[in-house]
Amino acid sequence: MTVGFHPSLTSSPTVCTWDDLKALCAEDGVCTSIFLGAYPYAGGQGVRSDRVRLRTMLGEVDRYLHAGHMRDPDRMALLDPLWHVLAHLDQERDFGHPDAIAWLRSTHSFLQFRLPWQVEDSWSVEGRFQVRPLLRFLSPRRRFHVLALARHHVRMLEGNESACGTVAAPAGMPASPEHGYEAVERALQPLLRVKPWPLVLAGTGEDVALYRSVNGYMNTVAEPVMMSPDGDWSDRELGRSARDVLSRWRSAEERQALAVFGEASETGRVSTVAEEVVQSASAGRVLHLFLEDEWNGTHTAGRIPEDLVNAAVVETIRHGGNVWQMALDAPAGLVAVYRW
C-alpha cells in the first residue's frame, strides 16, 4: 500500500469548492474523515480543547486501523499528516475558533476545510469520505447580496447563514438614484460577475419595480423584501428578511432539475428507497439526487442512516450526477431521479 503525503500540511483550512467535492468523491481505499466542532471561546481554552478532542479521535482511529490489521508502517504513514496537525495546533489556534474544521485523509491525498457552521465531533474510516457536512458549501443560498433601494439612498449588503452587513458600494455606484437606476445597475455588473450570488432587492414596491425595469441579472430573486430602507432597518433585520425570502427561491439550475423530476415522476424513474438509491447511484443511474436543505435547518437525520445518505451522495457525484439541497414532498427526505 502506497501512502501519499500532502506538501502543505500547515496551510490554513480553506473553503470547500465543487471541484474539491468531486475530487473527494472520486477517492476510494482507506478514507479517514475527521470533523472538529467549533470552539469559539477566548483565553487559550479553545486550543486546549481542540488538542484534547483531536488527540482522542486520532487515538480511536489508530486503534480502529490496528484492529483492522493495517500494517504499522502503512498506518503510521496514513495518520502522520493528522498527527502533524495536532502538533502544530497550538501555534495556529491560540484563542479557540468560531468555525468547525474538517480533515480528510486517504492513501492519495490530505485536505482540510473550515466549516462556518457547527458540526458534531466525529470520525469515520470507510471506503468513501464523509462528505455530507460539506454539502452546505454548495447551497446557492449560502451567500447573498442585498440591494437596499430608496429614492435618496442606495446601499449594498452581503450576507450568509448567520450574518449580514453593509459593504462598500461598487465603483461608480451613485449614492442616490435621483437620475434613475441605470447607473446603479451598470455599477453592479462587475461585482456580480465576481460574486454571482443571489441578489435580493429591498425597498418599496415602486422602487423595486423601477429597478427591475433595468435589471438583467439572472440571479435576481423574484420576491423582494418589502420595506423602506429609510425606515431605520438594521443590517441584521435586512439579513433576516433576506434569508426568509431566499428559503423560497430556486436558482435556474434548481428549477431545471425540478422540471426533470416532474417528468421522471410520470414515467416511474424516481425512487425514495435509500438502499435502492445507493445501488443505482453506484451503477451510474442517478441523474439528480434531492436532499433536504440543511441551510434551512431541515435534514434527513433520524429517518435514513447517515452512512446511506453519504453513500448516495458520493456515488451520485462520482458517476457524474447532481446533488441538490431542496426539500421535496417525500417522507424519507431523499429522492433520486434515474437516467433510465
Q: What is the pLDDT of residues 163-179, one digit of tens each?
A: 999 999 999 999 888 88
Q: How far apart are CA 94 and CA 102, in angstroms?
A: 18
pLDDT-derived band of residue 1, with 50, 70 and 90 as boundaries?
very low
d(CA 27, CA 40): 32
In a domain, 1, yes or no: no
Residues 229 and 284 reside in one and the same domain: no
Q: In which band, very low, low, confident or very high, does the pLDDT at 11 lie, cut at 50, 70 and 90?
A: low
Q: Which domain holds residue 277?
A: 252-338
The pLDDT, as a whole number, for residue 239 is 96
The percent of residues in the chain predicted with pLDDT above 90, rounded, is 69
> Residue 211: pLDDT band by 50, 70, 90 thresholds?
very high
Answer whether residue 137 is part of any domain.
no
For residues 92 and 283, which has the higher predicted lDDT (pLDDT)? 283
Q: Which one-letter amino acid corresponds to residue 224?
A: P
Mean of pLDDT over the chain: 88
Give residue 296's pLDDT band: very low, low, confident or very high (50, 70, 90).
very low
CATH number, residue 88: 3.30.960.10
Same domain (yes/no): 160, 76? no
On whether residue 6 sits in a domain, the answer given is: no
Q: What is the pTM of this model?
A: 0.85
What DSSP element (H or E) covers 150? strand 144-150
| 309 within domain boundaries | yes
Residues 29 and 114 occupy one common structural domain: yes
CATH code assigned at 296: 3.30.1330.30
Residue 107 shares a structural domain with residue 29: yes
Give a yes or no: residue 122 inside a domain: yes
Same domain as 184, residue 257: no
Number of domains making up the chain: 3
Flag whether 178 is in a domain. Answer: yes
Question: Are 54 and 85 a contacting pair, CB within 8 Å?
Answer: yes
